[in-house]
Structure 1
Amino acid sequence: MVSTSSKPLNIDLSRIRSDIQALQPQLVAWRRKLHQRPELGFQEHLTAEFVAEKLQQWGIEYQTGIAKTGIVAVIRGEERGARSEEEAYTSVLPTVGDKIRDSRLPVLAIRADMDALPIQEENDVPYRSQHDGVMHACGHDGHTAIALGTAYYLSQHRDTFSGTVKIIFQPAEEGPGGAKPMIEAGVLKNPDVDAIIGLHLWNNLPLGTVGVRSGALMAAVETFHCTILGKGGHGAMPHQTVDSIVVAAQIVNGLQTIVARNIDPIESAVVTVGKLHAGTALNVIADTANMSGTVRYFNPKFEGYLAQRIEQIIAGICQSHGATYELNYSQLYPPVINDPGMAEFVRSQAVRVVETPLGIVPECQTMGGEDMSFFLQQVPGCYFFLGAANLSRNLAYPHHHPRFDFDETALGMGVEIFVRCVENFS
């Protein structure tokens, strides 16, 4: 469980417009239907069908089958002659504003992920997962419902914004990653996206708060798998062997020196060995040991460096013991880095929805990773956390926990923030 800081703040529903308040029961119903039918990455067929069915019903232009199960909806606003060009861009960051002034028709993208996790749900609720061993344990069902609610509202109120909104329903955020193949398929083109925003329902923050910051919000995600190749033998005759367990133990300790002694203490990084398997009997020295771990960091300058140091340490320790190794290192997601102007823009809209000053949490970094980072490498944008924990209702279990759930009041708040961003970006 998270701490008592997950108690919600006082929620002023008057900050959410009446049309979105009226949509709240539908948001809950959509979220719960999605929660009952969770699907793993690139297998979100039922989810995609549900999203497409709603978009078609509302007369929204969309394309399916992008990166297997991804969908992009396009909603075009009506030009409002009442606003001067200068007024239309006063709330948009300068770097994006200059680009938009050239095209005159701004394009804002909103991204929502759709996939679930290979977890057996333990919640005893009417809407619990009906798919054995699969669960929406990270809030992506809520992200999809918020994106649908935003699409519906904007389709019914096209006169409130100019330009175009692209809503990207992305598969496989949890792995192996759907953002990059969607980008490669051209979702940021035709029309070209000027900026992108997205949110993550966040049980590390209480309901009624928004975590938004400039710069690095979430960490890069890298993984390694290493096999230590020694020489097995009798446990009573170690001089005849190369003990892979002893070598692995020294490697685990050695890897901890990377952050402690190679990284500036002002910076943040993590090297974690999460799996270590070796041996079959108590009196047999194992000839092989297998270890796996993860690497996290915020500063892009560490890309490649940590991988290099890890291999140097493994190679050096193996050589000193007469062992060899096989190392497989993967760079999965880069860090999630928000554009300063877009972060300020999102913050300026969020303060209209949550009570200030407590409602805005500027320092909310996490070493968790997200492939929203690939979108942010392509266009300026902002990814932010929407507090969804409510300890008083026992809705505060951490993400990826089999009893994860969140306060659904956050759904309407998410729609309101997205809609305000669209209206004031255009």
Structure 2
Amino acid sequence: MNIPWLKSGEALKEELIEIRRQLHQYPELGYEEERTGAMIAKILKDIGLEVTTGVAKTGVVALLRGKAPGKTIALRADMDALPLQEESTASYRSKVSGKMHACGHDAHMTYVIGAAKLLKKYQSRLKGNVKFIFQPAEESTGGAKPMIEEGVLDNPKVEAILGGHVWPDTPGGSVEVVKGPVMASTGQLYLEIHGKGGHAARPHENIDPILIGQEILQRLQSLTSRGMDPLENLVISICSFQAGETYNVMPDKALLKGTFRTLNNELRLALPEKIENIVKNVTDYYGADYSLKITHLYPATINNEEFTEFAQGVAEELLGKERVLEGKKPSMAGEDFAFYLERIPGTFLRIGNYDEEKNLVYNLHNPHFDIDENRLGMVAALYAKTAMDFLEG
């Protein structure tokens, strides 16, 4: 007998809405997800899963063992909220001042909880194991890496992983799949230029860090347009330039902060040297000194093509081909799901959320952002069916 996944997911609708609203009303920032983790752990224990808490400080991992031995697949959700004040009149709006689930992580957790409930219901037909990973701190330093270091992909060994993100410009009720790179690597640069301050009327006696900074900024932009293959995706954005305090005094120093992003992990590793060459050449020319700190955050998120094709087929079977879109355009935002994909096959889905009639038109990280609660059961069913079909394959 075929499992009625969508009908089973729809039967969980009211329960999942209540779970999502509880998560939404009490948002917690990265590595602070104590209440969130406790709530998730209780739900999963109550349905009979093996639950481990305190993974990477606040993460939760649950295991469902099938009635027959086999492979293991993981379903992952991120847990953390953002330091935003929610601007909403909804009854379920955030009750925590200055904190909000504005990136849909409350929905992501609910999808995976729903999938756990569905798979537990059909445990007797499960050949293998499913791990449910609830990961802290995606928005900050990235909780995926420490979870992996603490063995989340071992015991039993995970052979594939599925994750997803509500996507603000993909139509609601649809799912978008992207083969290959889906999200960019992320890195930070922090540059302090040490010049020589003095009176603005005597610039020849000074070493102007503002002039030096703007020249470095321009050269960094020329790196993206002239120093790289135009077919490569590369973004270098200087988003903060701080120098001086008054109108007639050249400052001693300037501080530039920015980000660099690419879809090519080899280029990602080569960028720091290229950036520092520009900084050194310009500061040497003007006789200034500098201190430069470059930090790699996340690698590019690159979906495994074979697993993505498999997941696409599952989605088309469940939802119909017309509701499964093939995404051609990666995002230059970052996502620490990349660390899982560096180690095992998997895919990161885009869950459609755009719906003008429901006023679901706001971007991620916007204080008005919300999700379509009526789709929670649908996505839970998709996750559950993907896991079941993988284990049967």
Unaligned stretches of 5+ residues in structure 1: 1-14, 80-103
The equivalent of 2:75 in structure 1 is 110
**Is the aligned partner of 1:165 residue 2:121?**
no
Contact 2:75 2:132 in 1 (8 A): yes
Q: Distance in 1 between matches of 2:41 and 2:236?
A: 41
Q: Secondary structure at the match of 1:304?
A: helix
The equivalent of 2:113 in structure 1 is 148
Number of aligned positions between the proteins: 388
Q: Distance in 2 between matches of 1:374 and 1:322?
A: 41
Structure 2 matches for 1:225-240, cutoff 5 A? 225-240=190-205
Structure 2 matches for 1:290-301, cutoff 5 A? 290-301=255-266
Structure 2 matches for 1:50-199, cutoff 5 A? 50-79=39-68, 105-199=70-164
**Distance apart, 1:423 and its partner CA:** 1.7
**Distance apart, 1:121 and its partner CA:** 1.1
Q: Distance in 2 between matches of 1:285 and 1:236?
A: 9
Q: Distance in 1 between matches of 2:376 and 2:115?
A: 10
Q: Structure 2: which amino acid aligns with 1:44? A: E
- Identity among equivalent positions (%) equals 41
Q: Distance in 2 between matches of 1:131 and 1:297?
A: 35
**Is the aligned partner of 1:318 residue 2:283?**
yes
**Distance apart, 1:356 and its partner CA:** 2.4
Contact 2:175 2:323 in 1 (8 A): no
Q: Distance in 2 between matches of 1:17 and 1:284?
A: 68
Q: 1:364 to 1:210 in 2, by over 3 A?
A: farther
Q: Secondary structure at the match of 2:372?
A: coil
Q: Distance in 2 between matches of 1:20 and 1:30?
A: 14
The equivalent of 1:246 in structure 2 is 211
Structure 2 matches for 1:374-389, cutoff 5 A? 374-389=339-354
Q: Secondary structure at the match of 1:193?
A: coil
- For each residue in 1:118-164, what CA deviation from the matched residue of structure 2 results, as whole angstroms up to 9, or x when unmatched? 11111221111111111111000000011111111111210232100
The equivalent of 2:243 in structure 1 is 278
**Distance apart, 1:247 and its partner CA:** 0.7
Contact 1:161 1:422 in 2 (8 A): no
Q: Distance in 2 between matches of 1:354 and 1:252?
A: 48
**Is the aligned partner of 1:37 residue 2:2?**
no
**Distance apart, 1:22 and its partner CA:** 1.1
Q: Secondary structure at the match of 2:386?
A: helix
Q: Secondary structure at the match of 1:176?
A: coil
- For each residue in 1:350-408, what CA deviation from the matched residue of structure 2 results, as whole angstroms up to 9, or x when unmatched? 11233424531331410011000111111111111111121222111100111111212
Q: Secondary structure at the match of 1:248?
A: helix
Q: Distance in 2 between matches of 1:252 and 1:335?
A: 24
Structure 2 matches for 1:303-314, cutoff 5 A? 303-314=268-279
Q: Distance in 2 between matches of 1:191 and 1:304?
A: 32
The equivalent of 1:367 in structure 2 is 332
**Is the aligned partner of 1:415 residue 2:393?**
no
Q: Distance in 2 between matches of 1:346 and 1:43?
A: 33
Q: Secondary structure at the match of 2:90?
A: coil
Q: Distance in 1 between matches of 2:375 and 2:183?
A: 21
Q: Distance in 2 between matches of 1:321 and 1:275?
A: 22
Q: Distance in 2 between matches of 1:279 and 1:131?
A: 37
**Distance apart, 1:16 and its partner CA:** 5.4
The equivalent of 1:352 in structure 2 is 317
Contact 1:206 1:387 in 2 (8 A): yes
1:393 aligned residue (358, 366, 383): 358
**Distance apart, 1:279 and its partner CA:** 0.8
TM-score, normalising length from structure 1? Answer: 0.89
Q: Distance in 1 between matches of 2:35 and 2:323?
A: 39
1:46 aligned residue (26, 35, 39): 35
Q: Distance in 1 between matches of 2:318 and 2:244?
A: 57
**Residue range with higher mean Cα deviation, 340-349 or 359-368:** 359-368
Q: Structure 2: which amino acid aligns with 1:281? A: T
The equivalent of 2:183 in structure 1 is 218
**Distance apart, 1:19 and its partner CA:** 1.8
**Is the aligned partner of 1:258 residue 2:223?**
yes
Q: Name the Cα RMSD after superposition.
A: 1.3
TM-score, normalising length from structure 2? Answer: 0.96
Contact 1:395 1:406 in 2 (8 A): yes
Q: Distance in 1 between matches of 2:216 and 2:62?
A: 49
**Residue range with higher mean Cα deviation, 200-209 or 15-24:** 15-24
Q: Secondary structure at the match of 1:353?
A: helix
Q: Structure 2: which amino acid aligns with 1:58? A: I
> Which runs of structure 1 show a deviation greater than 3 angstroms over 4 or more consecutive aligned residues?
none
Structure 2 matches for 1:200-215, cutoff 5 A? 200-215=165-180
Q: Secondary structure at the match of 1:17?
A: helix
Q: Secondary structure at the match of 1:378?
A: coil
Q: Secondary structure at the match of 2:161?
A: strand
Q: Distance in 1 between matches of 2:249 and 2:343?
A: 53
The equivalent of 1:82 in structure 2 is none
**Distance apart, 1:212 and its partner CA:** 1.0
Contact 1:195 1:380 in 2 (8 A): yes
**Residue range with higher mean Cα deviation, 171-180 or 351-360:** 351-360
Q: Structure 2: which amino acid aligns with 1:22? A: A
**Distance apart, 1:204 and its partner CA:** 2.1
Contact 1:117 1:174 in 2 (8 A): yes
